[in-house]
Amino acid sequence: MKVMAVAVDGTAVVQLIRPEGRAGRGSRMPSVATPRRGRGRRGVGAVAAALTSAAVLSGCLAVGGAGAAAPPQDRPADRGGPAATSAQAGADVLSGLEVAPRRDRASYRREAFGSGWGRLNGCEVRDVVLARQLQDAVRTRGSRCEIESGTLADPYTGRRLRYERGGDPGRGLDVDHLVSLRHAWQAGAAAWTRSRREAFANDLRNLQLTAASVNRAKGDAPVDAWVPPNRAYRCTYARRWVAVKAAWRLTVTAVERQSLTRLLRSCPAS
């Protein structure tokens, strides 16, 4: 099974999405792709909006394809709330985060966050991400969830990448966990219940579709070790990072906080 993306200008950008399990890449979930034989297409803008609204506002998440949302005590209090929308707002949120060293490094296990994508309103989270983030997304005929094609305005690279399900194995897209699962483990998630960790792994606010080569270069790196190559997106990246850390009550290291402060100060004044 394959997922393919090419730059709109036709140049190869990335490699086939790699299956889960290799060392140093624990933040990616397995991809789902199907052959293109006999497929029709139709628009999915309304479906994407409905899925996004239901996911974020109601928190209706089933993980592992087996049941209901995590119990209320396992959800962040401000889940679905507004992210930091300005440099000052981001700085204010950052100032409230607990500063602590990373811990539980040796005990991290990818499976502690679930074995695969969860489901939102019957759709796999990965397809929800595709529907939200691809422009001109179309879905497979007869499926209300599966995304067939679209174009990604990749914020990490500033490039436009074409997505086609089941295409050339030498090209692909990944869904990046902004705050990686390994990093979250070291920032407090090791002490969470399994249902809370699975909910974190499927939190739409922490998921970003990007070129697979860029995602693999990032690996599990925190914001003090990696930022997107697209300089114009670094301010937004920092704001999103802070919002996720705050929503899930994850700690930051002193170096991480310094890096975030510097990035937020570089944001436009608006």
Residue 155 to residues 13, 41, 60, 224, 235: CA-CA distances in angstroms? Answer: 15, 26, 27, 19, 11
Residues 193-242 have pLDDT tens digits of 999 999 999 999 999 999 988 999 999 999 999 999 999 999 999 999 99
Residues 119-153 have pLDDT tens digits of 999 999 999 999 999 999 998 888 899 999 999 99
42, 131 Cβ separation under 8 angstroms? no
Could you tell me which of 133, 245, 114, 126 has the C-alpha nearest to residue 178? 245
Partners of residue 176 on adjacent β-strands? 208
Could you tell me which of 126, 147, 155, 154 has the C-alpha nearest to residue 55? 126
Residues 39-72 have pLDDT tens digits of 444 444 443 344 334 434 333 444 443 333 333 3
> In this predicted structure, what is the pLDDT of residue 32?
35
Q: 220-253: buried (b, 16+ CB within 10 Å) or exposed (e) per residue?
A: bebbbeebbebeebbbbbbbbbbbbbbbbebbbb
